[in-house]
Amino acid sequence: MDRPKLFEPLQVGSLKLDNRIVIAPMCQYSAQDGQMTDWHLMHLGHLALSGAALLTIEGTAVTPEGRITPSDVGLWDDQTEAAMGRVLDAVRSWSSMPIAIQLSHAGRKASSEVPWRGGRHIAPHDPRGWQTVAPSAVPLSTGGPTPAALDADGMARLRESFARSARRAGRLGIDAVQIHAAHGYLLHQFLSPYTNKREDAYGGSLENRMRFPLEIFDAVRAAFPEERPVTVRVSGNDWIEGGASIDDAVRFSKALEERGCSALNVSSGGLDPIQRITDGPNYQVPYARSVKQAVSVPVVAVGLITEFEQAEAIVGTGDADLVGIARAALYDPRWPWHAAAHLGGHVRAPSQYLRSQPRQYRTLFDFDEWAEN
């Protein structure tokens, strides 16, 4: 049987990926003052044993005001860096899986309750809330506080905040950065004409709307160790009339590639509750394919990829180079093991779990070296 494409290695900059499965970023809303807790140790710890090629740390705020909720993880000061360092040290003691981090700022979607408490906006005068910022003073269509439009000083501070967080991530030995420019957060708000009503050099044409996200990319790229990849999560469709389209995402992706972006992760939606998403298996794959046809760096497809053959077909046909899985990895943290068993691939596993290898799959596991000693 041919080696499954899903289990072929791939080099992304200095990063050697064992296979084509990446764990997508997933906010856990379980931090205290931006600091990771033992929940993150358990959550990232078990996903680091999943056999995926790369584990992406959840959307991590570059400033306290950039958090979606008061319980988001951040990387903006020595305390948040130390808390993340503690979790990473523990996870890395027992897993060799490379770890990426998603750096984010929520913009007008900040200052909200956690989803399982309804996700409503927390007003700036509430002791747990704060004034949100955005490219323009456009509130979400469901109401809530009006964000303050960012001025030149605010934008300069944010460029510096993204760069500082990237420097901290580099110091922590994180293997790659993913900048969040999708799901309706700050950089997506700049990119979309639905949320960006600016009349200066940062609004209007796509060239202008891309300007700030590209400046953030340059700031992060310059601050993160040169040999390690900086990647971007882009949005293929706002699912809103008058929103950004896949053509915008393709042009943005090409501009990013020209500036040294190492890979693109193609998602969609999240800009405003007015959106009308038609989802189903592979629903974002056509956007990944469009980006892939326009760039030469690796492209990740994500979104309702839950079946092994489905994932193999996405990378096998060349629609994307990698697949991202999120909910499937929570539901079945050994999804990559099961995919390898089903398709005839190999996964890295800890020696402590040697005896779990089912008899019919005797060659399933490659063992982490130190665990064998």
Ligand X SMILES: Cc1cc2nc3c(=O)[nH]c(=O)nc-3n(C[C@H](O)[C@H](O)[C@H](O)COP(=O)(O)O)c2cc1C
Interacting residue ranges for ligand X, rule: CB under 6 A? 24-27, 58-59, 102, 180, 183, 233, 267, 302-305, 325-328
For ligand X, the closer of residues 294 and 304 by Cβ is 304
Catalytic residue among 185, 194, 202, 287: 185
Q: Is 331 a catalytic residue?
A: no
220 versus 328: smaller Cβ distance to ligand X: 328
Burial of 168 (0-12, 13-18, 19+ CB in 10 A): buried
Task: Report how far residue 269's alpha carbon sits from residue 277's, in angstroms, rounded to the nearest whole number.
Answer: 7
Q: What letter would DSSP give residue 145?
A: P
* Least gap, CB of 29 to ligand X (angstroms): 9
Whole-angstrom Cα distance, residue 307 to residue 316? 14
Nearer to ligand X, 250 or 305 (CB): 305
Residue among 102 and 112 whose Cβ is closer to ligand X: 102
d(CA 175, CA 17): 11
* Cβ–Cβ under 8 Å, residues 176 and 231: yes
Shortest Å, Cβ 60 to ligand X: 8
- Report the distance separating Cα 272 and Cα 308, nearest Å: 32
User: Which residues, 6+ apart, have CB-to-CB distance to 266 below 8 Å?
Assistant: 233, 234, 235, 236, 249, 284, 287, 288, 291, 299, 300, 301, 302, 320
Least spacing, CB of residue 269 vs ligand X, in Å: 9
Helical H segments across the chain, by residue range: 38-47, 78-94, 152-171, 186-191, 206-223, 246-258, 285-294, 308-316, 327-331, 335-343, 369-372
Q: What is the DSSP letter of 21?
A: E
Indicate the residue among 161 and 365 with the shorter CB distance to ligand X. 161
Least spacing, CB of residue 303 vs ligand X, in Å: 4
Q: Say what angle helices 308-316 and 335-343 make with each other, to 10 degrees.
A: 70
Which C-beta is closer to ligand X: that of 183 or that of 346?
Answer: 183
d(CA 286, CA 290): 6
Min dist CB 33 to ligand X, Å, is: 18
Shortest gap between Cβ of 53 and ligand X (angstroms)? 15
Q: Is residue 63 helix, strand or coil?
A: coil
- Residue 253's Cβ-side half-sphere holds a number of Cα atoms within 13 Å equal to 30
Instruction: Cite the active site residues.
Output: 185
